[in-house]
């Protein structure tokens, strides 16, 4: 019975023109109550789980009285296939794609990736992530613009993040080898359910952030070779693919 029809029927019963109006009115109210409970139960039946790419860490942030530079992690681009609220899983051989309607990112995926990268860089380098237009005059600012080409998860097996990034510094300095465009692929085992997949993505982004942090560390002391060939042997799961000069 539609809500409008139920309302008309209830008014008719209350008008006094029906001999058994009292009993019928009570019955109608009970029916309305049952319908309302059913609607509320259906709304509460959703079992959606929300996930974040910002890994929880027991490490304490580095305390510094003042910082000599800062990072500016800019907006992130991602493939259209994963640009949605749900987690997306791929088949290991057939290329089939599954959209996990009950497993959702807590924020837009671009924002989750940017925040995860900025948080790790800030922790590793001991400096804040600040907006480029809000940086104090004269403060060296390392700019990072990340482009994700692949953001794949094969359920129960592994995740793979293929990315490239543009690394720059402001103010510019002659002979510093910047800006550069670099690329790497991070592959992390993810054996288990959706939670294991999310942890795999978190670790893959940590690997990307750590190699960028190594580049910035080298650039701080003028080590141009360390920018274009950072030490990656301590980052198992990361495949380094090199750098090339970028337009200023």
Q: What is the pTM of this model?
A: 0.79
If you average pLDDT over residues 149-156, what whole number do you get?
95
| 1 contacts: CB under 8 Å, gap ≥ 6 | 9, 31, 35
Cα–Cα distance for residue pair 66/190, rounded to 1 Å: 39
Residue 157 main-chain phi, psi, to 5 deg: -125, -65
Mean pLDDT of 11-20: 52
Domains and CATH numbers, the chain: 3-43 (no CATH), 50-245 (3.40.50.10610)
pLDDT at 17: 54
Lowest-confidence pick of 21-30, 83-92, 102-111: 21-30
Which pLDDT band, with edges at 50, 70 and 90, does 96 fall under? confident
Average pLDDT of the residues of the chain: 84
Q: CA 236, CA 239: separation in Å to the nearest integer?
A: 8
What's the confidence (pLDDT) of residue 33?
54
Average pLDDT over residues 72-84: 96
Least confident of 24-38, 136-150, 220-234: 24-38
pLDDT in tens, 155-199: 999 999 999 999 999 988 777 789 999 999 999 999 999 999 999
What is the β-pairing status of strands 158-170 and 180-189? Answer: antiparallel
Residue-level length of the chain? 248
Say what the pLDDT of residue 101 is. Answer: 95
| Beta strand 141-154 pairing with 158-170 | antiparallel
- Pairing assessment for the beta strands 49-51 and 70-73 based on DSSP bridges: unpaired
**If 0-12 CB within 10 Å is exposed, 13-18 middle and 19+ buried, where does residue 159 land?**
buried
Q: At 140, list the tokens.
A: 């060296």
In the chain, the percentage of residues whose pLDDT exceeds 70 is 77
pLDDT at 187: 98
* Contacts (Cβ under 8 Å, ≥6 apart) of 169: 140, 141, 142, 143, 176, 178, 179, 219
């Amino acid at each position: 019975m539609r809500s409008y029809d139920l309302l008309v029927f209830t008014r008719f019963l209350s008008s006094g023109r029906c001999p058994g109006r009292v009993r019928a009115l009570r019955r109608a109210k009970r029916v309305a109550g049952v319908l309302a409970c059913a609607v509320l139960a259906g709304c509460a039946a959703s079992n959606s789980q929300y996930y974040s790419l910002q890994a929880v860490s027991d490490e304490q942030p580095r305390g510094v009285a003042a910082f000599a530079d800062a990072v500016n992690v800019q907006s992130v681009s991602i493939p259209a296939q994963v640009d949605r609220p749900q987690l997306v899983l791929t088949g290991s051989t057939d290329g089939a794609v599954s959209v996990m309607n009950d497993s959702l990112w807590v924020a837009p995926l671009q924002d989750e990736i940017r925040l995860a990268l900025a948080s790790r860089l800030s922790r590793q380098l001991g400096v804040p992530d600040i907006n480029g237009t809000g940086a104090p005059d004269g403060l060296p600012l390392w700019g990072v613009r990340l482009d994700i080409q692949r953001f794949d998860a094969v359920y129960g097996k592994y995740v793979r993040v293929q990315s490239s990034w543009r690394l720059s510094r402001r103010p510019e300095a002659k002979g510093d080898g910047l800006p550069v465009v670099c690329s790497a692929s991070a592959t992390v085992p993810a054996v288990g359910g959706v939670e294991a997949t999310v942890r795999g993505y978190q670790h893959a982004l940590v690997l990307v952030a750590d190699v960028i942090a190594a580049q910035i560390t080298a650039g701080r002391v003028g080590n141009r070779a360390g920018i274009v060939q950072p030490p990656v042997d301590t980052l198992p799961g990361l495949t380094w693919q090199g750098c090339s000069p970028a337009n200023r």
